[in-house]
Chain A
């Protein structure tokens, strides 16, 4: 108990002091020369925010510099991302936690002020979260095939957490690939969407894994499939959509990815320091535990491979946005 007490005190008081009052210490490296800003293009409290604060916490231990989280929400993630794209004098010390909003936003907003690929350097994909195709527990559909066959006969509804979310776009992608009748029902965030699904007001959803994992385990929701390339270790009995093999679903491989990006002028040296630091962060026990609690897999790609991944993600969502008529 004494130990626990210490931890608490240290984390509250010490944390505030260390984060707040200490002047950033300059390390042996040339970079970083000042505090680093980690921009979160969403409001506080979402997955992106929670993840960013965890990463910032670990990163500042590895970098020997303060990492300050800054929320710049708005219009999907495009307001915060747009500001990063403008560069400016802070660009050498600003990084951003990008997520599917980065590519989906670019796919649905026609008059974006920046290029989602060329204006940035791509540092590290931190985690991947699969989406899960879930139906209410009393739903008559036991498998993806059954669901698709029924959806060809009658109009189905799927809930999502907002236009342009990965949940919404996954639903639209499913609708496009299987050529079924599905109506999107929007909610303000996953929290508001869940009761409609649990209560059976909508037929299906393609929710993020962490949101629905406990409901699947408790039997309130039934998982029909996961959207990642391979089965999730958290739901080993649930097939992937690409396993289904019919109705073009072999093309359905998406995850909600989260990764750090910076302005295209981000120096070579800074990139190297960041790569090293992020490699160490991703090996940390705390990070792996955190990823596990989110039901996430640690990210696989960094640098050019991450960029290539973004290019492909962008292409897919542009196609879906066009087909679903939600590009503006």
Chain B
């Protein structure tokens, strides 16, 4: 770098990239040395190393090692502050974010056991509250859509969805 600015002591230009690089490097090392040998069975006879089911995963693993090192170097040396601006956002309230996570957890935990209609209504209501939506009639949509869509999926298009315990 020719600019006098960069001749100062090495300063981390992009902490995010460095962090991402380190995480990926760790992952790739675990991949190459642990996951590939332990979680891919190799057939006893191989006519060619390229035939091995471990070949491509290994290559990809080593390439990730290489690129994560490059990513770390890039984060240390290259100034990308202009791009950083685009990534920053104005954060909302914690409540808003937490309720969104709750809605996702509802889908993950209850979808199979409580059925599509119930979880659909519940999660949609939670998300409406999270925003919060202040138009009262909108809340009725949280009931209309899950029921209508489930009906169309299951009864008209014959695409099964879990409907217990509120079966119809």
Is A in direct contact with B (CB under 8 Å) within the complex? yes
- The chain A residues found within 8 Å of chain B, CB to CB, are 16, 19-21, 37, 68-70, 325, 328
By a CB distance below 8 angstroms, the chain A residues around B43 are 325
Q: Are A20 and B41 in contact (CB under 8 A)?
A: no
Report whether B158 and A69 are in contact in the complex, using a CB–CB cutoff of 8 Å. Answer: yes
Contacting residue for B158 out of A19, A325, A328, CB 8 A:
A19
B residues engaging A (CB < 8 A)?
41, 43-45, 155-158, 160
Q: Is the CB of B156 within 8 A of A325?
A: no
Q: How many A-B residue pairs have CB under 8 A?
A: 17
Query: When the two chains form the complex, which single residue of B44, B157, B160 contacts A325, counting CB atoms closer than 8 Å?
Result: B44
Check B155 against A21 for contact (C-beta < 8 Å). Answer: yes
Q: Which of B41, B45, B156, B160 contacts A21 (CB under 8 A)?
A: B156
Q: Which residues of the other chain, B, contact A19 by a CB distance below 8 angstroms?
A: 158
* A16, A20, A21: most-surrounded residue (chain B CB, <10 A): A20
Residues in A with CB closer than 8 Å to B157 are 20
- For A69, list chain B residues within 8 Å (CB): 158
User: How far is B41's CA from A70's CA once the two chains are assembled, in angstroms?
Assistant: 33
Chain A residues within an 8 Å CB radius of B156: 16, 20-21
Question: In the complex, which residues of chain A have a beta carbon less than 8 angstroms from the beta carbon of B44?
Answer: 325
A328 near B41: Cβ-Cβ < 8 Å:
yes
Say yes or no: A70 contacts B160, CB within 8 Å.
yes
Chain B residues whose C-beta falls within 8 Å of the C-beta of A70 in the assembled complex:
160
Instruction: Tell me what chain A mostly uses at the interface: helix, strand, loop, or mixed.
Output: mixed
Chain B nearest Cβ from A220, distance in angstroms: 30
Residues of A near B158 (CB, < 8 A) are 19-20, 68-69
Could you list 10 A-B pairs, sorted by A, with CB under 8 Å?
A19-B158, A20-B157, A21-B155, A37-B160, A68-B158, A68-B160, A69-B158, A70-B160, A325-B43, A325-B44
In the complex, what's the smallest C-beta–C-beta distance from B154 to chain A, in angstroms?
Answer: 9
B45 / chain A contacts, CB cutoff of 8 Å: 325
Q: How far is the CA of A70 from the CA of B162 in the complex (A)?
A: 12
- Chain A CB within 10 Å, residue with most, of B41, B45, B156, B158: B158
**For residue B155, which residues in chain A have a CB less than 8 angstroms away from its CB?**
20-21
In order of increasing CB-CB distance, the 6 nearest A-B pairs are A20-B156, A20-B155, A70-B160, A68-B158, A19-B158, A21-B155
Name B159's closest neighbour in chain A (CB-CB). A70
Q: Which B residue sits closest to A19, measured CB to CB?
A: B158
From B43, B44, B155, B157, residue with most partner A Cβ within 10 Å: B155
The chain A residue with its CB closest to the CB of B152 is A20
Give the Cβ gap from B54 to chain A, nearest Cβ, in Å.
Answer: 15
Closest to B160 in A: A70
- A67 to chain B minimum Cβ distance, whole angstroms, is 10
Write the chain B residue with the least CB distance to A70: B160
User: Chain B's nearest CB lies how many Å from the CB of A80?
Assistant: 13
Nearest A residue (CB) for B41: A328
Identify 7 new A-B residue pairs, CB closer than 8 A, beyond the known A20-B157, A20-B158, A69-B158. A20-B156, A21-B155, A37-B160, A68-B160, A70-B160, A325-B43, A325-B44
Chain B residues near A328 (CB-CB < 8 A): 41
CA distance A37 to B155 in the complex (A): 13
With both chains docked as a complex, state the minimum distance between the C-beta of A314 and any C-beta of chain B, in angstroms.
23
Report the minimal beta-carbon distance from A86 to chain B, rounded to whole angstroms: 13
A325 to B157 CA separation, bound complex (whole angstroms): 43
A93 to chain B, nearest CB (A): 13
**Residues in chain A near residue B41, CB distance under 8 A:** 328
Smallest Cβ-Cβ distance to A20: which chain B residue:
B156
Closest A residue to B155 by beta carbon equals: A20
How long is the Cα–Cα vector from A37 to B43 in the complex, in angstroms?
Answer: 39
Q: How far is the CA of A325 from the CA of B41 in the complex (A)?
A: 12
> Which single residue of chain B is at the shortest CB-CB distance from A16?
B156
> What is the distance, in angstroms, from B151's C-beta to the closest C-beta of chain A?
10
